[in-house]
Chains A and B, each alone.
Chain A
Amino acid sequence: MPRKVIKEFKVEWFQILDESGNVDRSFWPGSDPITEKEIRAFYEAVVLIRTFDEKALNLQREGRLGTYASVKGQEAVQVGTASALHPSDWVFPAFREPGVSIVRGLPMKMIYQYWSGDERGSAIPEALHDFPIAIPVGTHIPHAVGAAWAAQFKNDPIAVATYFGDGATSKGDFHEGLNFAGVFKLPIVFVCQNNHWAISVPLSRQTASATLAQKAIAYGFEGIQVDGNDLFGVHVTMKRALEKARRGEGPTLIECFTYRLSDHTTADDASRYRSSDEVAAWKSKDPLVRLRTFLEREYRWSEADEAALRKQAQERVAAAVHEFESTPPAEPSAMFDTLFASLPPHLVRQKEILKKRIEQDGSLHVKEKG
């Protein structure tokens, strides 16, 4: 037969908690159910992230923060995935994952610090195996692959997760990274937050593929599309993928179908390129509202519960802002100190030049507050 089908592929879509807050219990993992305690913790994290994010936007408007990339609308992806990670797992974020970082335990102060333009915000605490934010799109994907490879090399029973958006799937590093992960069967989960917009470029201009999940097929491993505004669906999918990775069964690409409710960053105006109808349609799928509806139905979550939680989140965020704003500024000469393990002579000289400039010019003196 000159022509025959030699291989067929399919792409699955997964959802547990629908837009109306109903749970499809047939998908609820029987042996390892999500507990009420976990669900309450998920919602607390979502509210905390939303509060953190709104505060960041306010701080930026007030001139107290630099450019910031809002995560509004993507909280379910971030909490759902990050809550499935073990502390010993490694995480490689892009730049729209404050939610992941908060769930992982990165002090919120540091995220504000970073977006205020202070490198100390990327000085990740030793206890966390998380890389700092990566701004050049998709370029951190190979790093995650390398860490997963190193873990495999050392027989460490961990998994690696890396996050990126739909735009990154057009970059070479995405394809090269996935290819390596497939070839070497690495313990890694690729979390694609398909929020439908890469600044002003819609998904239809990133790819002619019907899904982003299917891109994994070309690299020889599983890709799945999950409703990214369904925290349960995301969590269960992530957990399965991580377990698979830890068992040595290779990588997974999870396409989380979600939406960026805010502008790309505070320097962007999304009304220039997308319709308010589209945004409104996605607002009705807000992952926060969806989870709250579920809590109200299942656990009699009340207005009072909500108010108490919001208050607690605001207090935590306020404390982080206070901590961020009361941190004394760094020594300017710190820009030299960690460039190399030991400073070569020309940099010793340049550091001295900077110190002298600061001594001689009062306007450059380091002030008590940043």
Chain B
Amino acid sequence: MSKLNLVQAINQALRHEMERNPDLVLLGEDIGRDGGVFRVTEGLIERFGERRVVDTPLSESAIVGAAIGMAAYGLTPVVEIQFMGFVYAAMEQLISHAARLRTRTRGRYTCPLVVRAPYGGGIHAPEHHSESTEAFFVHTPGLKVVVPSTPAEAKGLLLSAIRDPDPVLFLEPAKIYRAIKEEVPEGEYVIPLGQARVVLEGKDVTLITWGAMLHPVLKATNRMAEKGVEAEVIDLRTLSPLDSATLLKSVEKTGRAVIVHEAPRTCGLGAEIAAQICEEALLFLQAPVARVAGFDTPIPLPKMEKYYLPDVDQIVEAIEQVMGF
């Protein structure tokens, strides 16, 4: 084991899987000689060559579209979209084709591909570099959506995503690419998709989050612990399919839920989670479900970003609100 940040953990996962699977091909812009704009693929072209680590033309739709054809043919393509804000050019490929190929051919063709993209705010990046629009993809039947929250999680989830027989969107929170280091198991380390993680056990309130937001959520629970509130924290890990059972079990225990995400509030994934809690666990609730989310505005440019992204204070406030209801 060694202490790695998220970038290094993903790099290690890709390296591990490329050694194992000779049909694994990486496609993306600047991922080869440059090692990716965040250096996630650094050193891979030297190890595996330009046949398997392909610097493509600047062409998101064709990158994803070609990956669909490759996957159907029998390769294992792993695509990097440079920033989530640039994935929209490939939306048609993802929604109309990748997500539908298996079912529209009744299983004759499948599409085992992974699209990786850095996502989320908090890195003071230019316009269109801080998007958090995971809900578009969660809303798309046939896609899986995964967001890791720590380096070890990233490795374990990425290996599962690559081995998954269906298309997976793997969203990497750019804010924590280098912010956290932790022990990452070397070699084989797999975390199954579709299973949320109870990061912290508690009896008073359930905090539901994913990705970079896990970290302010954990800070908020520290503060609440000082006030005697024992929060349970759930890291969703896989946004689609959602591990509803784990969420509901926790809410049934605590009777209170706060959902935290940086994506815009309206029709964000929090809305679906709140709806499921109301449908399945209403009689356990001791307070209305609360959401801490981004505003329904485009994420601002860096100078105003901090006014947009949920922070520890807002999370603490929401917990106090549901505790005091």
Chain A residues in contact with chain B, CB under 8 A?
Answer: 90, 92, 119-120, 122-126, 131-132, 134, 136, 139-151, 153-154, 172-173, 176-177, 179-180, 183, 334-335, 337-341, 344-347
Task: Check B107 for interface membership: any CB of A closer than 8 A.
Answer: yes
Say whether, besides A136-B92, A153-B75, A344-B194, A123 and B62 are in contact (CB < 8 Å).
Answer: no
Chain B residue numbers with a CB within 8 Å of A122 are 104-106, 108
Task: Check B266 for interface membership: any CB of A closer than 8 A.
Answer: no
Say whether, besides A123-B105, A179-B62, A143 and B166 are in contact (CB < 8 Å).
Answer: no
A92 to chain B, nearest CB (A): 8
Distance in angstroms between the alpha carbons of A141 and B64 in the assembled complex:
12
Chain A residue numbers with a CB within 8 Å of B160 are none
Task: Check B20 for interface membership: any CB of A closer than 8 A.
Answer: no
Say whether, besides A150-B74, A173-B61, A145 and B66 are in contact (CB < 8 Å).
Answer: yes
A179 nearest in chain B by CB position: B57
Q: Which of B59, B77, B104, B165 contacts A179 (CB 8 A)?
A: B59
Chain B residues with a Cβ closer than 8 Å to the other chain, count? 46
Distance in angstroms between the alpha carbons of A123 and B104 in the assembled complex:
7
Q: Can you list 16 residue pairs at the A/B interface with Cβ under 8 Å?
A: A90-B73, A136-B96, A139-B93, A142-B61, A142-B62, A142-B65, A147-B69, A147-B73, A150-B73, A153-B23, A173-B65, A338-B103, A338-B105, A339-B103, A341-B166, A344-B241
Q: Which of B25, B59, B72, B108 contacts A123 (CB 8 A)?
A: B108
Is the Cβ of A177 less than 8 Å from the Cβ of B65?
yes
Is the Cβ of A123 less than 8 Å from the Cβ of B66?
no
A143 nearest in chain B by CB position: B69
Is the Cβ of A126 less than 8 Å from the Cβ of B108?
yes
Task: Check B44 for interface membership: any CB of A closer than 8 A.
Answer: no
Is the Cβ of B106 less than 8 Å from the Cβ of A143?
no
Distance in angstroms between the alpha carbons of A165 and B105 in the assembled complex:
23
Is the Cβ of B68 less than 8 Å from the Cβ of A143?
yes
Distance in angstroms between the alpha carbons of A90 and B109 in the assembled complex:
13
Q: 1/0 per position for B86-101, CB-CB distance to A under 8 A?
A: 0001001100110000
Distance in angstroms between the alpha carbons of A134 and B92 in the assembled complex:
12
Is the Cβ of B75 less than 8 Å from the Cβ of A150?
yes
Distance in angstroms between the alpha carbons of A154 and B75 in the assembled complex:
9
Chain A residue numbers with a CB within 8 Å of B59 are 176, 179-180
Q: 1/0 per position for B240-265, CB-CB distance to A under 8 A?
A: 01101100000000000000000000
Is the Cβ of B106 less than 8 Å from the Cβ of A123?
yes
